[in-house]
Amino acid sequence: MTDTMLLQNHPRTGPVLDLEAVNRQWADGDALRFVQWGHDTFGDGLVLSTSFGIQSAVMLHLVTQVAPAIPVIWVDTGYLPVETYRFAEELTNRLQLNLKVYQSPLSPARMEALYGRLWEQGEVADLNRYDQIRKVEPMQRALRELGSTAWLTGLRADQTNHRRSLQRVGQQDGYYKLMPILKWNAREIYQYLVAHDLPYHPLFDKGYVTVGDWHSSRPLTAADSNERDTRFRGLKQECGLHLPQSPEEAASLDSSAL
């Protein structure tokens, strides 16, 4: 690593990177080696987030090959399908994940008593409030409490127009964001799953291409022009966990299938 790529190291904030130089180096680099670089660079400040979604096994397996003890943040909304909870248990045991489960301080019952069933109210503002309570706040708290300086995500460039413009290392709300499989396509995802005998989420066999909460996910149909139409009745695709910094990012960082 050159001095221009790693400018300084602060005991609280972690390394300060020259993003242009880092992204030149890793534009087309091997995903496993990229994860190793992230682990070497950020050490205990590196975390991995997961939704235990359709293809989550790819990132969970890839990252834990390098960093078996990495904290794996799972934001449990309390509204996930039964299949997701069972899938999470299966992968946690199989990969021996260092799982860190975070939830909203408002229980589902209390939230519904105070605000109603926000996902049924038909307004994007209500869905945003839901995401803030059940997803965004727990994720932000997790990053703080775990002393994170960088986190690994499974975003892919072929998922949205905005993601095509992303680079493998970015910054968001003061955290570095590392995307090892940014340039992978569906075929590469499938090949990795097969090569390592990893499972899809069980709802994949029922037609789901992305899955979140039970009340806001449905199988893909012939009428859908995009897999994101299957979330929140097509009104909203951003799950909130990626903490968008701008309206453009909020509109384009859609709920990841990973």
Q: Is the pLDDT of residue 235 over 50?
A: yes
Higher pLDDT, 75 or 11: 75
In this prediction, residues 55-64 reach a mean pLDDT of 96
pLDDT confidence of 158, banded at 50, 70, 90? confident
List domains and CATH numbers for the chain: 6-249 (3.40.50.620)
> Which residue is catalytic, options 166, 239, 253, 257?
239
Residue 142 falls in the annotated catalytic set: no
Q: Is the pLDDT of residue 238 over 70?
A: no
Condensed to tens digits (0 to 9), the pLDDT of residues 128-138 reads 899 999 999 99
Beta bridge partners of 152: 48, 178
Q: What local confidence, expressed as pLDDT, does residue 172 receive?
A: 85
Please state, in angstroms and as integers, the Cα–Cα distance from residue 127 to each residue in 5, 77, 104, 105, 251, following that order.
Answer: 40, 13, 15, 18, 13
71-75 and 46-50: which strand pairing? Answer: parallel
Q: What local confidence, expressed as pLDDT, does residue 9 receive?
A: 42
Closest CA to 216 of 103, 23, 84: 84
Q: Is the pLDDT of residue 252 over 60?
A: no
53-62, 155-164, 245-254, range with greatest mean pLDDT = 53-62
In this prediction, residues 237-252 reach a mean pLDDT of 51
Instruction: List the beta strands (DSSP E) in the chain.
Output: 6-10, 14-17, 46-50, 71-75, 98-102, 150-152, 169-172, 175-178
Closest CA to 148 of 103, 181, 180, 100: 100
pLDDT confidence of 113, banded at 50, 70, 90? very high
Torsion of CA 145, 141, 165, 24, to 10 degrees: -10
Phi and psi for 225 in degrees, rounded to 5? -90, -15
Q: What local confidence, expressed as pLDDT, does residue 146 receive?
A: 97
Structure tokens given for 80: 């996930």
pTM to 2 decimal places: 0.85
42-53 in b/e form (b: 16+ CB < 10 A) is beebbbbbbbbb
